[in-house]
Structure 1
């Protein structure tokens, strides 16, 4: 196309007028985004605070249980200590009884041996010795005394032998009883030690659980603190954006009449888009992976609620995630989200010429960034008013949209 100095001058003039409403639109969109982010952060902060409350409740329950287990261990320890003392005492009693039994056996054995010696002596001497002993008595009184003495010796031996046998048997029974009591104490000690081991194992698990709760609580408190900082930052950003909107609205009010006149002139010029010159700008197709146009430029039936019936661009169908490239080199003047366009980018190519890329799933550039022709700037999506995954591509010249297919082909 041929150059037109007069038309380019008009385009530059209109670009200056166009900058204010576009910037205001971006600012309002930024305000909406900031308020939405603040609301989302407050909701997340509230959820995290509830989570913290739940964690603190669980920690409190676990702490109480750990305290109870500590008390049980102390009680079991005291019980084991007493059992140990009882076992030591019982073992000493058993040792003493064994000593007594040994002594009783020795005494019985000694008495038995003495008795056997006397019986043996009497047997070896025969009955005559006993008779001679009696006959040698000088009087009846002496005779009776000797007879009684012999009888008493025999009776004493029998009595003592019976007594020692009874004592030995009694001590043996006592030893048996002590051994039984000792065995019972040992069994009770084993059971108590097993109980102690079980409580210690449970206590270790609960202490680990308590440590985990403390770690989670510390982390959650950190999250709440970060949310509070982010909310404060969003509030500051909202205040800043609101102040900027107020300033721009005041500026826009003062220039409203002038902009209307210039816009009317620009719209009139746009009706002859076939003669529009784009200077030295040349475009490349914005969606290299697809050349399928599903909706052309101009009048149409609105495909979904909120969508325009006067289509100010072309729709290129492509799968979500497909690369969107800059049609020409320039500067990104808008990279944001709006409820109608979704995620979108607008690039200024100079001379009042802009290209627009709407409904992206994600944006890869930011406002103020310079881009090269063919550079990937976004990914195809279906955000905003959209009936499916596609790229809405528009070309704006001197404040009005023109048919992109006049300047670019797949």
Structure 2
């Protein structure tokens, strides 16, 4: 009996020595679940700030698009006004040419009128100086009545011709003068229209300059916000790495505690066996412990569809902003289809991202978490506890997406792994 007690104490001593010398137990992680929760809260806050920045970028891009459209419209208006100015200048030039040609005609008409007036004055002067005797003699010298009538008619025709021609030349001169005056009026009107159009040009150019400055300012703001979003993205990645490290430390601590409990349980059983079994043979002083590490398979996250449209790993980016290193699988499904939790766990993230759209992350413990992206609707919030198969969201096409589908991803100890190793339709 005494010898049996010594053996039991020796066994306990060996177990405790093994526990004390175990490298696993000598490194107890400082991180706690509270620290992980705090780190996740910080990450969530960063994601919220990043989302606000991305929304600001989206708003600025909308403003940029509107400003660019307005600038384009102003450019078109400037071109139209320039065409009007050019047309008016051509019309003014044409009017000036017509005015010059009319001035020449007017000058010629005035000369003709003067010549006709001079001829008429000479005849009147001749008649005045010679008196009526010349015409009387002309008539008396006629040798017949017929010649007399012819000579009388000749004298009348000369006077009538002089008057008619003078009236005609005066009318022509006045008509040409009226035409010249009308052309000059039209030219003045065209000149006024040109002046007004040029004033419009100046106003549009001023507005165009202001809009171009505004566009430059918007581009600068987009650049600043994009840099800020990139900084948030880097901070989020760093926070994710920190969370993964903490979770690994907690897992390590849990494993150490489990090993310690197992060793203590083995020692307790050994002690109990020594007390109850006084006839133990030489080979029965040890105990055999079987540790089973159960691995629960994950559920298929989209009951409505089993069609995978894009697998895990390298691929050609399907749309601007989408990754070419696919960190999950894409499951095609109609908008509004149910998305279920692949396993029970705690919702660590339920928010919106510019690239992932509405998305959920569920932490299942032991360093395993699942990700559900591009949702049309989220049905859970961060901190909620969910069961396997519980509907947590609806299929959609938010974020960087080419159509309605679920992007499903699996993270193991902080790294993305192929979901096909965990789930199947």
TM-score by length of 2: 0.52
Superposition pairs for residues 141-290 of structure 1, below 5 Å?
141-251=146-256
Q: Identify which of 89, 95, 106 aligns with 1:90.
A: 95
TM-superposition CA deviations, 1:274-300 (whole Å, max 9, x none): xxxxxxxxxxxxxxxxxxxxxxxxxxx
The answer to whether the 8 Å contact 2:57/2:225 transfers is yes
The DSSP-based 3-state class of the residue aligned with 2:143 is coil
- CA apart distance, 1:195: 0.9
- CA apart distance, 1:80: 1.5
- CA apart distance, 1:191: 0.9
Superposition pairs for residues 131-150 of structure 1, below 5 Å?
131-150=136-155
The answer to whether the 8 Å contact 1:62/1:206 transfers is yes
The answer to whether the 8 Å contact 2:31/2:250 transfers is no
1:120 aligns with 2:125: yes
Query: 2: distance between equivalents of 1:91 and 1:102?
Result: 16
The DSSP-based 3-state class of the residue aligned with 2:119 is helix
The answer to whether the 8 Å contact 1:21/1:252 transfers is no
Query: 1: distance between equivalents of 2:224 and 2:246?
Result: 33
Query: 2: distance between equivalents of 1:180 and 1:200?
Result: 30
Which residue of structure 1 lines up, in the alignment, with residue 71 of structure 2?
66
- CA apart distance, 1:42: 0.5
- CA apart distance, 1:133: 2.0
Query: 2: distance between equivalents of 1:26 and 1:239?
Result: 11
The unaligned stretches of length 5 or more in structure 2 are 1-24, 264-425
Which residue of structure 2 lines up, in the alignment, with residue 44 of structure 1?
49
Which residue of structure 2 lines up, in the alignment, with residue 310 of structure 1?
none
TM-superposition CA deviations, 1:13-63 (whole Å, max 9, x none): xxxxxxx99974456675445323311210111001110111111111112
The answer to whether the 8 Å contact 2:31/2:246 transfers is no
- CA apart distance, 1:157: 0.4
Query: 2: distance between equivalents of 1:24 and 1:30?
Result: 12
1:55 aligns with 2:64: no
- CA apart distance, 1:226: 2.5
Cα RMSD of the aligned pairs, angstroms, is 2.8
Query: 2: distance between equivalents of 1:43 and 1:22?
Result: 36
The answer to whether the 8 Å contact 1:107/1:164 transfers is yes
TM-score by length of 1: 0.54
The answer to whether the 8 Å contact 1:104/1:164 transfers is yes
The unaligned stretches of length 5 or more in structure 1 are 1-19, 259-410
Which residue of structure 1 lines up, in the alignment, with residue 331 of structure 2?
none
The answer to whether the 8 Å contact 2:29/2:252 transfers is no
Taking structure 1 as reference, are residues 21 and 216 closer, same or farther at Cα in structure 2, changes over 3 Å only? farther
- CA apart distance, 1:255: 6.4
Which residue of structure 1 lines up, in the alignment, with residue 392 of structure 2?
none
Query: 1: distance between equivalents of 2:28 and 2:127?
Result: 143
Query: 1: distance between equivalents of 2:30 and 2:262?
Result: 19
Taking structure 1 as reference, are residues 21 and 210 closer, same or farther at Cα in structure 2, changes over 3 Å only? farther
- CA apart distance, 1:179: 1.6
Query: 2: distance between equivalents of 1:147 and 1:93?
Result: 46
- CA apart distance, 1:163: 0.8
Runs of 4+ in 1 over 6 A off after TM superposition: 20-23, 255-258
Superposition pairs for residues 10-29 of structure 1, below 5 Å?
24-25=29-30
The answer to whether the 8 Å contact 1:24/1:249 transfers is no
